[in-house]
Structure formats: C-alpha cells, structure tokens
Amino acid sequence: MADQRRLTEQRADGATLLIFYVLALLVVPARFTIAFVPITLPPALFVALCLAVVWFAAHLVDHLAMAKGRNAVRTLLAAYVVLHLTTYAIATRRYLPADELSVSDSALVRIVAMAALAVFVCDAVRTGERLGRLLRVMVGCLTFGAFIGLIQFGLGVDLASYVTLPGLRVQDNGYSALESRSIFFRPAGTVNHPIEFGLVCVLGVPFAAHFVFQARDRGEPQGRWWFALSLLSLMAILSLSRTAIIGLVVTGIVLGLLLPRRRGLPLLGVGAVFLGGAAAVVPGLFGTVTSMFSNIEDDPSFQGRTKDYDGAWLEIAKHPWLGRGFGTFLPSKYTILDNQYLLTMIENGYLGLLAFVLLFLGGIFAALRARALSKDENIRGIAVCLVGAMLTSALGAATFDSLSFSVATGLTFLLIGASGALLRTARQEAAVRTAPVSGSPAS
C-alpha cells in the first residue's frame, strides 16, 4: 500500500505540465518565436495554448483530478476573457487598418492563452506541496535569468545572444541588452527589456525568502535559497529601474507586515544590510539609483513617459466604455505609453480597466482568504508571497505597458492562477479540519 501511495504521489500532474511552461517562459530567451507559424508565437505561449486544450479535455471527464466548482479567481478570469471577446467583436465590426487588425488577432490569442493558463493553474494544482514545487522551479529559473543579467551588467557580455534553438527564429525587439544608464550596462537577462527584467526579479524575491524559512524549518540546506534571494534582489537593483526599486520596497513592506515577527523583522534587517553591501561593492550604484528619484521631474525618461498622457485621454474619449480594440494602439504607429492602465482604457475602455484591476484584487483576495483559512505554515507563507507579488505587478503596470511584454504577462497570470489554486487548497484543508470524526457523537 505504501509503495502504491508513493507511485501515486510521484505521478505526473498539472504541476508537472506547468513546469514545462515555466521553463519555456523563463529559460528560453524571450526574443525567440516559433519559426513555422504566421503569427508571433513564443514557445511559452504555445505551451500555454496546449495547456488550454488539456484543461478543456480534462474537464470533460471526472477521473483526471481537475478541480471543478466555483472559485473567485476563475470567475474574474472568465469575465476578463468575455470582455476582451466583446471588445474584439466591436472593434472588428468597424474598419481597422490591416496592420492593426493583424496585431489585434494575435493579441486576442495571447490574452485568451494567458487566461487559460491561469485557470489551468487554479484547477490543476491541487495541493500546497505541488504548488510549492512549481514555485521552487519558478524561483530557480528566475535565478538562472538573474545570473545571465549579472554577466551582462558586470562584463558587458550578453550570453543569451549566443543561443540558437532549432525551430525558433529571433524576433528583433529593438533593444540591446548592452545599452547603458549612467556608467552601467542595463541587464535584461533572458527577457525583452531591463524594466521587465527588474520586475520579474522582484516577483521572485518573496518566494525565495519563503523557501529560505521553509528549508530552515525542515532542517534542509538553506544555501541555494539564500543565493537565489540575494541574486534576485541584487539584479532587481542593478536593472536600474524605478519599477523594480518600488517593487522591492512594496515587497519588503508586505513581508514585514504579514509575516510573523520572527521571520519578517530578521528579513528586513538582512535586506538593509544587503542593500548597504551592494552599494559598497558597486561604486556609484547608490548615486545612480537615488538620482532616478531625486531628479525625476527633470529626467528625460520620465518626461517621455508622461508627455503623451493628454493625447491618451483624447483617445480614451473616442471609445470610452469598450475601447478601440486590444492591441490596436500600435506604438510604432501612434506612441509608446508606459502605463498599462492608460493603454487598457484606450484599447478596452473603462470596463476593460475594471476587469484588469479586478484580476489583481481577486488574486490578493484569494491569497488573503487562503491565509485566513489555513493553519499550514507553508500555505500561509505562500499566501503572503502572492500578496506581495500581486501588489508589485499591479504597481508595475502603472510604470510600463506590462501586457506588451510576454514574460511579465506570463508570470503575472501564472501567479494569479496560483492564488486561486491556493484558495482551493486552503478550503479543502479547512473542510477536512472541521469535518466531524467518524464515530464521534457529532456524527
């Protein structure tokens, strides 16, 4: 019986399939797309579409351990997809130039795939242990990307540019990983841009911290998780991105407030020492980072981000409720908007903005609810990490057009789905804990 149970526990499941997605998203350089299809299709997006098919097929039967029933995250994702389909239908009824229509088609495929990915996570990852395994792989892959970024920053060598993979072609994103700010190279790791790189590094920081504490509680080696935590934090700073710096501050506040004192306070202390050490080891780093905020009104980068806001409101006024169509506001044709909320209002209207914001709020609610229901320290710790990650991603969307970047988008939807999966797990645990014991007077 014990051997049979062990075989059952080791059988491939939804978390196993999601590991392939994480590898395709975070290890394969984001500049690669599949060569033999007519649309821009990164490998991770192809895996997400495959997971959507698996999810649909698994829900046709009852023996594949796919969760069924209501879940707040699933409901919000369904509303988000329905709104995008409505926007697409209205936009394509009127005339759209060929270039905008083409991008709109591929953008709809992308957003449906991302929503399906989140639902797959929510329904297919059934236990806290399997969710933890998926998140450990995610942290490991993020650490790999951070190491690539460290080489870019320190040596000016982009290792990702030397990679070639059969069946994939390189899509030029118009950015070189060896461009600079001040006296420093700005790393991009395996993703498309330093801002995106900084954000995804920050998203991995709370989970790396959680696994440090988990390893300590279990009496396991902690070194690899301390290494991951240190490297991800360092590269978030070295990305020289305001988005990443703000994200680190938000993450620190969330962990400090929601973690038990025996964990939160030492972690903040270690973070302060680490930041001081990073500033001492990298001369000029502290001055460069502080200047990004102290002289923000005179910063050409900041001025370039905000000068187009008046024009954005004029575009919003043309189609206020459902927008002009997702993906149709082409940066090469109109202007680059470094604010996903403004871009969402242009492309999906006020209703689209509401649906987008509710995704973050729903993920935060699910994580906090799971933390309240569960007595398992692993589940409670992951819940705190997800709250920090959702807040960081939500704030990041105000500083750049996050849905235009495949890795940031994929990671955000993965974590939204993880919040739903954690809520399911916590509810199951609470139901088992409160169920009457067989043979007791209550039964």
Task: Answer yes or no: are the C-beta atoms of 74 and 122 closer than 8 Å.
Answer: yes
3-class DSSP state of 169: strand
250 to 245, 262, 301: CA distances (angstroms): 9, 20, 22
Task: State how far the Cα of 349 lies from the Cα of 115, in Å rounded to an integer.
Answer: 19
Type of residue found at 197: F
Gyration radius from the chain CA atoms: 22
Break the chain into its structural domains and give their ranges.
14-430
**Nearest partner of 285 among 234, 342, 321, judged by Cα:** 234
In this prediction, residue 332 carries a pLDDT of: 82
Task: Answer yes or no: are the C-beta atoms of 398 and 340 closer than 8 Å.
Answer: yes
Task: Answer yes or no: are the C-beta atoms of 366 and 415 closer than 8 Å.
Answer: no
Task: State how far the Cα of 297 lies from the Cα of 305, in Å rounded to an integer.
Answer: 11
Element (H, E) at 203: helix 194-218
In this prediction, residue 158 carries a pLDDT of: 86
Task: State how far the Cα of 320 lies from the Cα of 314, in Å rounded to an integer.
Answer: 10
Task: State how far the Cα of 145 lies from the Cα of 290, in Å rounded to an integer.
Answer: 25
The stretches in the chain having pLDDT less than 50 are: 1-8, 442-443
What sign for the dihedral angle of Cα 297, 300, 301, 303?
positive
In this prediction, residue 138 carries a pLDDT of: 98
Cα first-last separation, the chain: 28
32 to 35, 165, 330: CA distances (angstroms): 9, 8, 21
In this prediction, residue 279 carries a pLDDT of: 64
In this prediction, residue 186 carries a pLDDT of: 86
Task: State how far the Cα of 152 lies from the Cα of 158, in Å rounded to an integer.
Answer: 5
Write phi, then psi, for 184 (nearest 5 degrees). Answer: -115, 145
pLDDT in tens, 281-308: 666 666 666 766 666 666 666 566 667 7
What sign for the dihedral angle of Cα 101, 416, 214, 238?
positive
229 to 96, 114, 166, 211, 283: CA distances (angstroms): 47, 27, 33, 9, 22
Instruction: Give the whole-number percent of the chain exceeding pLDDT 90.
Output: 65
